[in-house]
Amino acid sequence: MEDHPLRNRSVYIAMAAAAALVFAFGAGSADAKKKRRGKVGGPSCSVSYLKLVEGNTWTYRNVNPVPNGPPPAELTLTVKSIEAGDDGKTVITVVQSFRGRTHETPLTCSAEGLVVPPHSFLFAGEAGADPGITRSNEEHNGVTYPNDASYRKVGATGEELYKADVTRDVAEGSGAEYNKSRVEVERLYLVASTSTTVETEVGSRNRATRIGFQIQARSFVDEKDRELPVANNGDIWIDRKLGAVRFKDSQGLEWALSASNLLEE
C-alpha cells in the first residue's frame, strides 16, 4: 500500500473540512420491498466473512486513546434488518451507537462485494457520523469489501469512489449562508494477509485476515480543489468466526472487539 501513487487521506477530515470551507467561503411513494431475515451465523450476501446477519452485534473499545483526550470510548454495531434491494442487491441496515448517539446506515451487497457509505464505522474504522453535515446527490462506485472469493486471495485489490454534495446545517436564527461544496473520497483496499494473529479485548484471534486500506479525499468549494492530508493508512482484521475484530483508522486510532453475541455460539 505504501508505494501506491495516491497519498493518504481521511474521510471524516474530508467531510468536516468541506463543510468548514463552505463556512469560510460563504459568509445553499416507493414500492414496498420484501424483507429477508437472515439466520444468525449464516451468510447474508457475497461477504459472508463479515457475519452481517440480522441480530448480530459487535462492541469495539478504543485501545489507544489520544493522550490527554477523552477516556476510552465504546462503539456498538447491530444488524437491524436485511432486505431485498434493487437490481438483485441486498440492503443491510446497521445501527451504530457511539457516545449516546445512534444512527442507521444502509449497506449494499451484491455479487461483487459490499458497499459501505463513508459515514459508517465499517468504511474506515472512524467513530461518529457527520455531525452538522447534510449529504445529497451521492454517487458510489466500486466496493468497500471484496466478495468471498477475492477475500481469500492475498494481494487482491480494489478501488472505490464516493462523491456527494455537502452542506453545513444552519443554526436556527443564525442567518448564515453557505456556498456549494462537493466532496470526493477515493478508497483503495488490499488483502494483505489471510493468516495473521490479532489481539482483541476478548483474546487473541489466530489465522485472521488483514485488509489494508488507503484514502484520498478532495473537497471542492466554488470549483476550487483542496486536498486534505492525514497521517497513515488503515487496517481491518477479520476473524473467521466473529467477523471484523479490530480496526486501525487512518489517524492511527485503534478499536478492538470487546463483546459480541457471536462469542456465545
Is the pLDDT at 199 greater than 90? The verdict is yes
Q: Is the pLDDT of residue 66 over 70?
A: yes
Q: Confidence class of residue 191 from pLDDT cuts 50, 70 and 90? A: very high
Asked if residue 205 has pLDDT above 50, the reply is: yes
Four-residue CA torsion sign, 110, 113, 118, 121? positive
Q: So what's the pLDDT on residue 21?
A: 38
The pLDDT of residue 10 is above 60 = no
C-alpha to C-alpha distance for 105 and 167, rounded to whole angstroms: 19
Upper half-sphere CA count for residue 14 (Cβ side, 13 Å): 29
Would you state the pLDDT for residue 181?
Answer: 83
Taking the CB of residue 217, how many other CB atoms lie within 10 A of it? 27
What average pLDDT does the chain have?
80
Q: Tell me the average pLDDT across 128-150.
A: 85
Q: Where are the domains of the chain?
A: 11-28+31-260
Per-residue pLDDT of 22-31, as tens digits, reads 333 333 333 4
CATH of domain 11-28+31-260: 2.40.360
pLDDT surpassing 60 at residue 17: no
Q: Which residues of 158-171 are buried (b: 16+ CB within 10 A; e: fewer)?
A: bebebbbbbbbeee
**60 vs 86, which has greater pLDDT?**
60
* The predicted structure's pLDDT at residue 229: 56
Tell me the C-alpha distance between 42 and 127, whole Å. 27
Per-residue pLDDT tens digits for 151-178: 999 999 999 999 998 877 666 665 556 6
Beta strands in the chain (DSSP E): 35-36, 57-62, 74-84, 90-98, 101-110, 113-115, 133-141, 145-146, 157-168, 181-200, 203-221, 224-227, 234-239, 243-248, 254-260
- Highest-pLDDT range among 31-45, 58-72, 127-141, 159-173: 58-72
More confident residue, 224 or 183: 183
**pLDDT tens digits along 233-242:** 899 999 999 9
User: With pLDDT > 70 as the criterion, what percentage of the chain qualifies?
Assistant: 73
User: What is the predicted pLDDT for the residue at 226?
Assistant: 64
Q: Residue for cell digits 470549483?
A: 223
